[in-house]
Structure 1
């Protein structure tokens, strides 16, 4: 298996410095952000790389001799967003990333399935959490129609470029669990769509990532190593679907998600939190997670994603890397590689 890091947490420094951090933690892969919600900070010359062999070779030369290589591309966003300033741009980023992957010798692009409006002419995405009434199913019928057309076209493009697109099972997307994976594939007949197995979002939904891997089998194309800690006291009062987020003002540091959409502040006393590996589930669990992934693909790329606000950037990555390397060592029966 190839253990690495999704690079967004290191967008505060040049690519060469990010590579050095990753190598120093005993990891060998970097998953590069190439658009979507975030700007492609470490791949600023995508358009040049797509047409110039010199630009491509210069970019690939940055990795030579570092012990770190590219481990997939990532353009998480909402390619089905009804606002064209967001949806059209994110969709273009997905298609551009597929073409870029082929130029860089990569075969995996990670993104999200997206979420349309609930009806024709709608201006905001609408996530149906519990379709107990017929109107909710009407919304889903419309959304699946939008998604089917886009992902059928995208699957054809991916097939042409020998790339597989791995969809993160992320809430507030049409595809977020096993049932919706199967529905998308049945509707599209896709051959080059699958799943990025990010355990974190499955944990708080009370899904079992190991069982999901074994159920989906070869549809699992890529993996993210990110943990979740469920806080029982808050869950007892509010459940896991807690909407106590705070809108950040323009005067506060905040992340733009496209057009007029921004990330909100996480709830106080939250029902659950993203944490570094080991703070929600121990090394033994992550060993079984890697075991399940290896059963699907011994060369699976597994990349840490750091969103633990209790830890600093390097501190959090290091904590996660220690657990991930220990889990891999337990699985293979070998001592974990020493940090540089």
Structure 2
């Protein structure tokens, strides 16, 4: 496995400065934002797709520092019911896949998207209860008319370019659990896999080790985010896990994101890493830092220190003791 970072964390620094910093901390991989919610501070597909010299310079900047690009990320909602919004996210995805092909980056990370509840809806609708039955009807309409058709078409677009799609299992989108990921994968093909982030499993009540095993048995983990979550034992009883308070309301929220090791102990993270190795995942472990109690640099540094204790890096050898 290769320890990496989602480079948008250092969006305030120039590309070369950010790459120097992460390389100096011993990392081997970077995940780079190309548009959508993560922005494109370090990588503008419009420029790189049109300028071969700029493309070569960009690739050299990464490789000359002993790094790989584990994924290009353009998280967005290409299924948004407002067509202008959806088109912007869709265009970012298409250009990101085209750029990934040119850079020989094997994975593009994004969200599945979330439609509205009918053709003329204005806002996305996230059904999370089976009753009243209206929610079942909405869910059926979304998947049959929007989610599956979109990803069948654009999943094939990516597959034709030897690019895999890593969908982040995130609340508020159609694909947010192992089951919904596998449902879409069955319909749209093996190009669809997970960008698995344990932090979003914990707040939904899903054990990340089990999520790794469920998805790993289907070879459905394309990329991995390293981020932690803590659940407040008092506030969760007041607000539930679907707490709608802003993330800044840290004293009152039911749960919040933490840097690795500050929501769950190192043994738990060792179990997650071991489960990844068990199912054959041997790719990037990409740090994503959204900890409201720590600065960017401190949160990142502590995540690196904690993960370096448990990361399994060397190739598997023979079982000499057997």
Unaligned regions of 5+ residues in structure 2, if any?
Answer: 317-322
Alpha carbons of 1:214 and 1:71: their partners in 2 closer, same or farther (altered >3 Å)?
same
Q: Which residue of 2 aligns with 1:315?
A: 298
Looking at structure 2, the residues matched to 2 and 14 of structure 1 have their Cα atoms a distance apart, in angstroms, of 23
Report the secondary structure of 2:311's partner residue: helix
The answer (yes or no) to whether the contact 2:291–2:299 under 8 Å persists in 1 is yes
CA RMSD of aligned residues (A): 1.8
**Which segment is superposed worse, 51-60 or 229-238?**
51-60
Q: Deviations over 1:294-329 (max 9, x none)?
A: 233353211000000110010000011111111116
Report the secondary structure of 2:234's partner residue: helix
The answer (yes or no) to whether the contact 2:184–2:192 under 8 Å persists in 1 is no
Report the secondary structure of 1:63's partner residue: helix
Looking at structure 1, the residues matched to 101 and 315 of structure 2 have their Cα atoms a distance apart, in angstroms, of 31
* Corresponding position: 1:301 with 2:284: yes
The answer (yes or no) to whether the contact 1:166–1:222 under 8 Å persists in 2 is yes
Looking at structure 2, the residues matched to 167 and 89 of structure 1 have their Cα atoms a distance apart, in angstroms, of 18
Looking at structure 2, the residues matched to 187 and 329 of structure 1 have their Cα atoms a distance apart, in angstroms, of 33
Q: Which residue of 2 aligns with 1:66?
A: 65
Q: Which residue of 1 aligns with 2:138?
A: 139
Q: Which residue of 2 aligns with 1:290?
A: 273
Alpha carbons of 1:236 and 1:91: their partners in 2 closer, same or farther (altered >3 Å)?
same
Report the secondary structure of 1:232's partner residue: coil
The answer (yes or no) to whether the contact 2:97–2:108 under 8 Å persists in 1 is yes
Deviation at 1:185, TM superposition (A): 2.4
Looking at structure 2, the residues matched to 243 and 52 of structure 1 have their Cα atoms a distance apart, in angstroms, of 44
Report the secondary structure of 2:115's partner residue: coil
Q: Which residue of 2 aligns with 1:49?
A: 48
Looking at structure 1, the residues matched to 282 and 312 of structure 2 have their Cα atoms a distance apart, in angstroms, of 15
Q: Which residue of 1 aligns with 2:319?
A: none
* Corresponding position: 1:29 with 2:29: yes
Q: Deviations over 1:42-96 (max 9, x none)?
A: 013x223224432211111212431222111111111111112321111111111
Q: Which residue of 2 aligns with 1:220?
A: 221
Looking at structure 2, the residues matched to 64 and 32 of structure 1 have their Cα atoms a distance apart, in angstroms, of 14
Paired residue total: 313
Q: Deviations over 1:264-318 (max 9, x none)?
A: 7446411011001111111111111111112333532110000001100100000
Looking at structure 2, the residues matched to 57 and 211 of structure 1 have their Cα atoms a distance apart, in angstroms, of 41
Report the secondary structure of 1:115's partner residue: coil
Looking at structure 2, the residues matched to 121 and 187 of structure 1 have their Cα atoms a distance apart, in angstroms, of 25
Q: TM-score by structure 1 length?
A: 0.88
The answer (yes or no) to whether the contact 1:73–1:101 under 8 Å persists in 2 is yes
Q: TM-score by structure 2 length?
A: 0.92
Q: For 1:327, which of 310, 314, 318 is the aligned residue?
A: 310
Deviation at 1:126, TM superposition (A): 0.5
Looking at structure 1, the residues matched to 249 and 165 of structure 2 have their Cα atoms a distance apart, in angstroms, of 29
Q: Deviations over 1:208-263 (max 9, x none)?
A: 11111111111011100000011101112222122233xxxxxxxxxxxxxxxxxx
The answer (yes or no) to whether the contact 1:7–1:30 under 8 Å persists in 2 is yes
* Corresponding position: 1:90 with 2:81: no
Unaligned regions of 5+ residues in structure 1, if any?
Answer: 246-263, 334-340
Alpha carbons of 1:311 and 1:208: their partners in 2 closer, same or farther (altered >3 Å)?
same
Q: Which residue of 2 aligns with 1:176?
A: 176
